[in-house]
């Protein structure tokens, strides 16, 4: 168990260091933006205001409130305190609503959409890749280019195609939102059904993109393993086919798990587009609103949360990997 604990601590330390760095980036980058963020919200308040001195009062009031008139170091500590309190400060575009409140209402939608989609995409992709490698022939000849083609459609492109085909033209699925336009959220069958129906298009647009890339990877790994000497030897020894395939896929799988850990960031990035195209009430949509509204506390908050989600997912996968990888198991035995 000692080996695993060392592995665990190592990964945990890594998680924390990465987080601190991401946090710093997250604080710094939006503050490099030209222009005055406070002026943006003041201007919104001021539409229809016809008194210049009144404007100036309002401006100074908000500058003080947001602390943008303070030195950058003070602002940083203010931000740290805010994050530690879990409220990320106040949103500009939805002032005085705290950013944390906005994120809280969207994060569940995102987790509920993206992680199942990525996992399902990963599983289907790997299964297809493995089958293609094993069956070869026609299936493989079709699957590979199709996979490449699909995984090369831009993420938003897949979403738009699904939207136009199944939402606008065929009208099988609703085109926007997380649940029916005429419903009030509630724990009832009606509502849940509506959520399920609205879930389909964004879900499949993420899954389809994920399948292609995974299938290509798994196919390569499987072919590589199938051609490996130990397989030839096993066949020669007359070990039954099913058992051999078991070995092959297990070995081919391991790099795919690592691959998932490494590419989950990219996948989440792509999935954000699905949310935006389908107006799905998740983080991607929140982020998009933040960008449109020049709301940098919200952009900071949303990107930080997305980064954290990816880091945690990554961490979880690596822990899992530590359990299933024989080499790390071997280290535990020492």
Partner 1 sequence: MKNTLRQVLHSGKFMVGFVILLTILLVVLVYPLIIKDSPLGIIGQGTFFPPGIYVSTYDSLNAPKQYTLLLTDAAAKRIANKMSNDDRLAMKEWLVADGVPASEIDVTKTASLLDLWEKNYDPKKNIPGMIFAKVRYYQRVNTSVQGLLSTEGAIIASKNAQTGALEQASTINQSDYVNLSQVANVRVLPLGTDNFGRDVLTELIRATGVSLEIGLVAGIVATLIGLSLGLLSGYVGGMVDDVIMFFTNLFTVIPSIVLLILISFSIGQDQRGAFTIAVVIGFTSWVWTARAVRAQVVSLRNRDHVNLSKLSGHSIVHIIIYDILPYIASYVVMALILQISSAILIEAGLSILGLGPRTTEVPTLGLMMNWAMIYQAEILGKWWAYFPVLIVIALITFSMNLMNTGLDQVFNPALRD
Partner 2 sequence: MRKTIPIWVAITLIATIVLSACAPQATPTAAPTSAPVSAAPTSAPVAAPTTAPVVQPTTPPTAVPTEAPVAPGAPLPRSETLYFNGQQWGSVVCWNPYSSNCNNAMAIAQQDNSRVTMFETPYLYDMLDGKQYPLLADGPWAWNADKTAITFKLKKAAHWSDGTPVTADDVAYTWASNVKYGTNPGVNFKDYIDTITAVDPQTVEVKAKLDANGKAVNPLQVFSYLSNAYVIQKAWTQKLEARTGGDATKFLADPADDVVFSGPYHKFFADDTKVVLIRDDNYWGKDASMFGKLPAPKYLAHVIYKDNAAGTTALQAGEVDVSQQFNANVQDLWLKDNLPISTYLPDAPYMIGASLPTAFFNMASYGLDQLAVRKAIAIAVDYNTIIANAMTNQSPTFAQVPRSLMNPTPGEQALYDQSAVKDLQFAGNDIAGAKKLLDDAGIKVGPDGWRYYKGKKLTYVATCPNGWSDWQAAIEVVAAAGKAIGIDITTNYPEWSVYQTQVTNWPLPNKNFDIFMMWSDGAGPTQPWGRIDHLLNSKYAQTKSNWNGNWGGYKNPDADALINAIPSETDPAKLKADYTQLVKIYLTDIPSFTLMYRPQSFHTVNESVWTTFPHQNDGTNPAVPPLDLTDGWSIAGLYNLTLVKK
Q: Binding partner of residue 22 among partner 1, partner 2, none, CB under 5 to 8 Å per kind?
A: partner 1
C-alpha separations of 142 from 136, 138, 185, 211 in Å: 10, 6, 44, 14
**Does 150 contact partner 2 by CB under 8 A?**
yes
Residues of this chain, 156-175, that bind partner 2 according to CB under 8 A: 162, 166-168, 171-175
**Does 298 contact partner 1 by CB under 8 A?**
no
Binding residue count for partner 1, defined by CB under 8 A: 59
Among 57, 80, 149, 320, binds partner 1 (CB under 8 A): 149
Buried/exposed 112-148: b ≥16 CB within 10 Å, e otherwise? bbbbebbebbbebbbebbbbbbbeeeeebeebbeebe
Q: Which of 325, 303, 292 is nearest to 110 (CA)?
A: 303
Please give the structure tokens belonging to residue 58: 């309002």
- Cβ pair 274, 159 in contact under 8 A: yes
Give the SS3 label for residue 92: coil
Count CB atoms within 10 A of the CB of residue 20: 10
Distance of alpha carbon 305 from alpha carbon 23, whole angstroms: 10
**Does 144 contact partner 1 by CB under 8 A?**
yes
Q: Binding partner of residue 180 among partner 2, partner 1, none, CB under 5 to 8 Å per kind?
A: partner 2
Q: Binding partner of residue 25 among partner 2, partner 1, none, CB under 5 to 8 Å per kind?
A: partner 1
Sign of CA dihedral 254, 255, 259, 261: positive
**Does 9 contact partner 1 by CB under 8 A?**
no
- Cβ pair 286, 103 in contact under 8 A: yes
Among 14, 95, 139, 191, binds partner 1 (CB under 8 A): 14
Give the SS3 label for residue 252: helix
- CB nearer to partner 2: give 97 or 329: 97
**Does 34 contact partner 1 by CB under 8 A?**
yes
Residues of this chain, 124-143, that bind partner 2 according to CB under 8 A: 142
Binding mask 241-280 for partner 1 (x = CB under 8 A): ---------------------x--xx-xxx-xx--x----
Taking the complex as a whole, the smallest distance from the CB of residue 176 to partner 2 amounts, in Å, to: 4
Among 3, 4, 30, 55, binds partner 2 (CB under 8 A): 55
Among 244, 288, 305, 322, binds partner 2 (CB under 8 A): 288
Taking the complex as a whole, the smallest distance from the CB of residue 146 to partner 1 amounts, in Å, to: 10
Among 102, 216, 260, 298, binds partner 1 (CB under 8 A): 216
- Cβ pair 27, 79 in contact under 8 A: yes
Sign of CA dihedral 46, 49, 51, 52: positive
Stretch of 47-55, 115-123, 159-167, 187-195 contacting partner 1, by CB under 8 A: 159-167
Distance of alpha carbon 72 from alpha carbon 287, whole angstroms: 24
Tell me if the bond preceding 96 is cis, omega within 30° of 0: yes
Q: Which residues bind partner 1 (CB under 8 A)?
A: 14, 17-18, 21-22, 25-26, 29-35, 136, 140, 144-145, 148-149, 151-157, 160-161, 163-164, 168, 175, 216, 220, 223-224, 227, 262, 265-266, 268-270, 272-273, 276, 287-288, 291-292, 296, 299, 303, 306-307, 310-311, 314
């Amino acid at each position: 168990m000692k080996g695993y604990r060392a592995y665990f601590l190592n990964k945990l330390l890594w998680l924390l260091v990465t987080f601190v760095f991401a946090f710093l980036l997250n604080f710094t980058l939006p503050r490099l933006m030209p222009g005055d963020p406070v002026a943006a919200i003041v201007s919104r308040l001021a539409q229809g205001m016809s008194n210049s001195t009144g404007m100036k009062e309002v401006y100074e009031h908000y500058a003080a409130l947001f602390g943008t008139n303070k030195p950058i170091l003070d602002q940083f500590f203010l931000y740290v305190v805010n994050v530690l309190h879990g409220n990320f400060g106040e949103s500009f575009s939805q002032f005085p609503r705290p950013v944390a409140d906005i994120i809280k209402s969207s994060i569940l939608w995102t987790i509920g959409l993206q992680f199942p989609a990525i996992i399902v995409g990963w599983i289907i992709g790997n299964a297809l890749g493995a089958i293609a490698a094993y069956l070869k022939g026609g299936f493989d000849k079709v699957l590979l280019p199709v996979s490449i083609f699909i995984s090369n459609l831009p993420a938003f492109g897949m979403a738009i195609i699904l939207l136009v085909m199944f939402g606008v033209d065929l009208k099988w699925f609703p085109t926007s939102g997380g649940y029916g336009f005429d419903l009030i959220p509630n724990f009832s069958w009606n509502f849940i059904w509506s959520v399920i129906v609205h879930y389909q298009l964004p879900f499949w647009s993420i899954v389809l993109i994920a399948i292609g890339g995974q299938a290509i990877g798994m196919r390569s790994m499987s072919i590589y393993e199938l051609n490996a000497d130990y397989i030839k030897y096993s066949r020669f020894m007359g070990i039954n086919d099913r058992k051999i395939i078991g070995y092959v896929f297990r070995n081919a799988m391991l790099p795919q798990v690592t691959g998932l850990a490494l590419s989950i960031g990219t996948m989440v990035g792509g999935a954000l587009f699905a949310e935006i195209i389908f107006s799905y009430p998740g983080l991607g949509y929140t982020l998009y609103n933040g960008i449109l509204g020049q709301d940098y506390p919200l952009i900071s908050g949303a990107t930080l949360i997305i980064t954290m989600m990816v880091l945690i997912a990554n961490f979880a996968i690596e822990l899992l990997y530590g359990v299933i990888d024989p080499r790390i198991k071997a280290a535990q035995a020492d």
